[in-house]
Structure 1
Amino acid sequence: MEVLEPAEWQARAAAHAARVDAFVAPHLARRESRVKHPVHDFLFTYYSQRPAQLRRWHPGSGVGLRDAAEHASLKGYAAVPGADGVVAVDPAYVASQRPLLASLRALLAATAGRAANFGCFGLHEWAMVYRLSEDETRHADWPLRLGADGTDAVVESHRIGCSHFDAYRFFTEPARPLNTLRPTSADRPAFEQPACLHAGMDLYKHAFRLSPMIVSDLVADCFELARDIRELDMRAAPYDLRDLGYEPVRIETPEGKQEYVAAQRAFAERGAPLRRRLVEECERLLAVAAVVVAG
């Protein structure tokens, strides 16, 4: 086992906190002031990872920390036998996470192995407001760029093929029959595909669910990808967010579709190595768990 001395792991922990604070600190300030942000708050309100958890650095399974009392009390950690003052992620804890590791590996590998679909054009956000009045939408503080009738017309004039259950489940009732797919929470590996913006953002969710078993640098990489994807997600949404500095991606036009697909393709390319790293981490941790179970 590699053991990090206090000066080294504390420097890594401080660098990690500083890296994510560029996004965490403004969110906390808005929360204190009770100001909502429809783009940047999403990663903290939709996902269950709290800001303090995101800021906390973990070295990942197989790396020990000397003189790390604050880590010793965290879930999943234990003292390393025969190494005075060293704590690390407990292999027994890794073994207890086998169901999670296996299910995440299956989902991530299936997604990576599926052909990318670049024809959805972000219409999931439009289907979430279909046939709603403007004061009934999820972001009612922000107007619909084309108005309610114009938004409905865009939904009705396009083929909707949302493959991501956690987007599809927020469709309005009239919009659900318009979707060509019927994803459920139980069959994600059969539907999710690597060009989907929500599948890309969910790499952050998968990464933090693997904490503290994986190094927090990988969680931060996935967080930054999700942060950037969310901006495209909302620029292509029906809301008018120009007062926040977001120029719309007008997916109802041929030019807007081209812009969306180009950005979507770039995010799929960024997400591919992160998805692959998460698969590799799941496989590594499953091997650790197998050793523990074998005794």
Structure 2
Amino acid sequence: MTGMTEQTGRTEHAPRILSEEEWTARRTQHRERVARLVDPHAERRASGTAHPVHDFLFTYYSFRPNQLRRWHPGHGIALADAEERADWAGYHAVDVGDVRVVTVRPDVLEQRHETVRFVADLLAATESRPAALGCLGLHEWAMVYRAGDDVRHRTVPLRLGAAGTDAVVESLPLRCTHYDAFRFFTDEAAPRNSLTLSRADQVDREQPGCLHAGMDLYKWAYKLVPLVDSDLVLDCLEHAFAARELDMRASPYDLTDYGYSPVPIETAAGRADYVRHQADLAERARPLRARLRHLCEQLLAYPT
């Protein structure tokens, strides 16, 4: 079945149609789920209170809470009786048979084609490699190595102090594979890494054991909104929360006042504990990465 778009006159495959009852129920579920994830951050922001673990997910990543609250069904899904959404960015109203629906405009896929291709290639390359579990979360330590007072989280003390933190970096190998962590290393720490990373070789270096590669599934998902459905975006965000918590528990910071016990990677027992948690997170990221890659491949195969 095909239909004609009013704006372009172009033939496109008919979408799957959700009734008003179906899509409004999904929207309600989405809003409730987002509230659980976002409201604590919004309340902290209103009171001027910082959280060194969770705020990162709303400051480093560019998708804002209000953007998260807006539910998107994804490419190929149309909403009946949804005329108020026709003016949303990336959407339009179109007739499918005798039903007036709102769906993602076909030109959105055309405009995002290169991004979809990049994400598909990056995820496929990441999946193709074995998980490397020996980094021990030392990227956070490398970001404050010999930094003096210039630390990233100035309101949170270092568990071992500056000298103790530097000693840990000097006693263990740096094996970071993620450019967006490596680029924040101090000038003294960067040469200690086993790899010199750049943006240009990101696709060649990403591997599935990396906590930040798993966290970034959230970034790649929201960058493709409204082509990507909100359920997948939130699944990736929830994973990012879990990865961020391990990231910071294994960091040099003392987060006991925030309810986080440390994973002391300066000890043999702490290193073993970190690797166990890291392996578990890598396994949890695997189906999310596969879902997002499969969606990208479907989008790339869609006729434009």
TM-score using structure 1 length = 0.96
Partner of 2:56: 42
Q: Does 1:121 align with 2:131?
A: no
CA distance in 2, matches of 1:20, 1:149: 41
Letter in 1 for 2:113: R
Letter in 2 for 1:248: P
Q: What does 1:87-106 correspond to in 2, within 5 Å?
A: 87-106=102-121
Q: What does 1:1-295 correspond to in 2, within 5 Å?
A: 1-82=15-96, 84-133=99-148, 135-288=149-302, 291-292=303-304
Letter in 1 for 2:272: Q
Q: Flag structure 2 segments of 5+ consecutive residues without an equivalent.
A: 1-14
Question: Secondary structure in 2 aligned to 1:3?
Answer: strand
The answer as to whether partners of 2:146 and 2:162 remain within 8 angstroms in 1 is: yes
Q: Flag structure 1 segments of 5+ consecutive residues without an equivalent.
A: none
Any idea what the Cα deviations from partners look like across 1:20-69, whole Å, max 9, x if unmatched?
21120010011111111000101100000000111211111111012223
CA distance in 1, matches of 2:39, 2:181: 27
Letter in 2 for 1:123: L
Any idea what the Cα deviations from partners look like across 1:184-210, whole Å, max 9, x if unmatched?
112111101000000000000011111
CA distance in 1, matches of 2:85, 2:74: 12
The answer as to whether partners of 2:141 and 2:251 remain within 8 angstroms in 1 is: yes
Any idea what the Cα deviations from partners look like across 1:206-263, whole Å, max 9, x if unmatched?
1111111121111111000001110000000000000110000000101001110000
Any idea what the Cα deviations from partners look like across 1:87-127, whole Å, max 9, x if unmatched?
10112211221100111100000001111101000000000
Letter in 1 for 2:240: A
Q: How big is the shift at 1:84? A: 4.4
Question: Secondary structure in 2 aligned to 1:65?
Answer: strand
% identical aligned pairs: 55
The answer as to whether partners of 1:95 and 1:286 remain within 8 angstroms in 2 is: no
Question: Secondary structure in 1 aligned to 2:61?
Answer: coil
Letter in 2 for 1:233: D
CA distance in 1, matches of 2:287, 2:264: 29
Higher relative contact order (CA 8 A, sep 6+): 1
Q: Pairwise CA RMSD of aligned residues?
A: 1.1
Question: Secondary structure in 2 aligned to 1:74?
Answer: coil
CA distance in 2, matches of 1:238, 1:146: 7
CA distance in 2, matches of 1:144, 1:168: 20
CA distance in 2, matches of 1:71, 1:253: 55
CA distance in 1, matches of 2:127, 2:208: 6
Letter in 1 for 2:108: Y
CA distance in 2, matches of 1:158, 1:273: 32
Question: Secondary structure in 2 aligned to 1:186?
Answer: helix
The answer as to whether partners of 2:131 and 2:208 remain within 8 angstroms in 1 is: yes
Letter in 2 for 1:209: K
Any idea what the Cα deviations from partners look like across 1:248-292, whole Å, max 9, x if unmatched?
00001010011100000000000001101111000111112xx11
CA distance in 1, matches of 2:272, 2:94: 54
> Which has the larger displacement, 50-59 or 192-201?
50-59
Letter in 2 for 1:95: E
The answer as to whether partners of 2:83 and 2:93 remain within 8 angstroms in 1 is: no
CA distance in 2, matches of 1:27, 1:5: 33
Runs of 4 or more consecutive aligned structure 1 residues displaced over 4 Å after TM superposition: none
Any idea what the Cα deviations from partners look like across 1:149-192, whole Å, max 9, x if unmatched?
00000001111011100000000111011011111112111101
